[in-house]
Amino acid sequence: MKITDVRTVLLTGPCTNDPFLSECRKHRSAAFIEIHTDIGLVGVGESYNGYRCAELYPPAVAYFAPILLGRNVDNVPQLWQWMYQCEQFWCRSGFGIGVINGIEAALWDLKGQAENRPVYELLGGLQHDALPAYATGGPSNYPQERLAAKIDHYLALGFRGFKLGTGFLTDRGFEQPLGARDAAALEADKLRFVRERYGSSVTVCLDGHMGNRPEGEGEWDVETAVAVCEAIEPFDLFFFEEPLHYDNPDGYSELCRRTSVPIAGGECLTGLPEWRVFIEKDCFDIGQPDASYTGGLKLCVDVAELLEARGRKIATHSWGAGGSFMQNLHVGFACRNTAILEIAPDYGPLHSAIIGNSFQMREGQVLPPTKPGLGITLTDEVKSRFAFIPGSGEFNDVPGKVLSEWEQKVDAEILRREEEPMT
């Protein structure tokens, strides 16, 4: 079996079917890599940055194609190493290694198909018969009655845990207090409401989104994060994700020493050198590598092992489309120290078309995928139905580039397509 072609597929589709998450994000872009072979098998992988800057992917993937053409997939780590070695100036971290991640995922998918084995078996074997899941819900929709309706929705879908965002989202937009007193009071009031309404049997996580305020207006400092942690300690959080920006590893380390609330993070970290800084400083109680962004599925397993050596757990980050979703499931099942899986609840038709029936959850527990490879499918019908719309990627609002303005353009393009006569 020889590799004959390497292609990039960009897509735009509904972000979710979740009516509560849809209040802040309606559309998503995605970047997939296809690896074709001379025996007809096609491997598919996704790179998470396609959710943000999909337009950059086709030339970047084409850059690496000559390294792969004519090769087989017997040794995926060797192919990864050649790609990494080829451009260490822009692939040691960030966008470049994220591109390699998507290509490597497609290689693992191809190898799994060829050997008739799920990818987690290629990454070290199945480590769990099942794993707990939480519904990742984005912002906290307010007022509190709206937040309760959101949680009710996730519990009705079969989840026994969920993650809420700090701050709150109303029809006036998103708000995140920066002051320590106000931030602590808001989060304590929110979690008190949740525990009084739902009791202690549900798993509750909190996402600080790096302590950011919209439009680049600032972020939490360590003292604010400590104050919030002190206020929420009574409410038994499974973890508190990203209370600080990643520019501050020393702050994360200090925060972990000063609170009993488990601190999680790492979704923005790429490559082993960057991860080692945060691991060796004990910045996280629970690391969150992403098997579509961190740099590779095997690299995610390596990160998990480094965390395990320091007595830490992982909870894979997962907010790409269907390929990213399944990549993170396979990594989660391949790592001994996986504590929980992030699951996009009520995901939309783009996810569904790619995942099919490969994802199975019962009573809040995710079961290991059983199909060969990653268990994903990218058909011509999907490519046509979810054709890419330039500008449909996610970004943070800043002066001069406001997400809502771009979403209006995407809405207009989708409406235009819907109104076009069938040919």
Q: What does residue 377 show for φ and ψ, rounded to 5 degrees?
A: -135, 135
Residues of the chain with confidence (pLDDT) below 70: 213-216, 421-423
Three state DSSP letters for the chain:
CCEEEEEEEEEEEECCCCCCHHHCCCEEEEEEEEEEECCCCEEEEEECCHHHHHHHHHHHHHHHHHHHCCCCCCCHHHHHHHHHHHCHHHHCCHHHHHHHHHHHHHHHHHHHHHHCCEHHHHCCCCCCCCEEEEEECCCCECCHHHHHHHHHHHHHCCCCEEEEECCEEECCEEECCCCHHHHHHHHHHHHHHHHHHHCCCCEEEEECHHHECHHHCCECCHHHHHHHHHHHHHHCCCEEECCCCCCCHHHHHHHHHHCCCCEEECCCCCHHHHHHHHHHCCCCCEECCCCCCCCCHHHHHHHHHHHHHCCCEECCCCCCCHHHHHHHHHHHHHCCCECCEEECCCCCHHHHHHHCCCCCEECCEECCCCCCECCCCCCHHHHHHCECCCCCCCCCCECCECHHHHHHHHHHHHHHHHHCCCC
pTM (predicted TM-score) = 0.96
Half-sphere exposure of 9 (CA within 13 A, CB side): 29
Q: How far is Cα 179 from Cα 203, in angstroms, rounded to an integer?
A: 27
- The residue with tokens 């802040």 is 24
- Domain residue spans of the chain: 3-116+378-419, 121-366
- The residue with tokens 């989104």 is 209
pLDDT in the model for residue 215: 54
Q: Which tokens hold the place of 5?
A: 């072609």
pLDDT in the model for residue 413: 85
Q: How far is Cα 292 from Cα 373, in angstroms, rounded to an integer?
A: 15
pLDDT in the model for residue 178: 86
Q: How far apart are the first and last CA of the chain?
A: 38
Report the top-level CATH class of 121-366: alpha beta
pLDDT in the model for residue 325: 98
pLDDT in the model for residue 214: 56
Q: Which CATH number does the domain 3-116+378-419 belong to among 3.30.390.10, 3.40.190.170, 2.60.40.10, 3.40.50.970?
A: 3.30.390.10
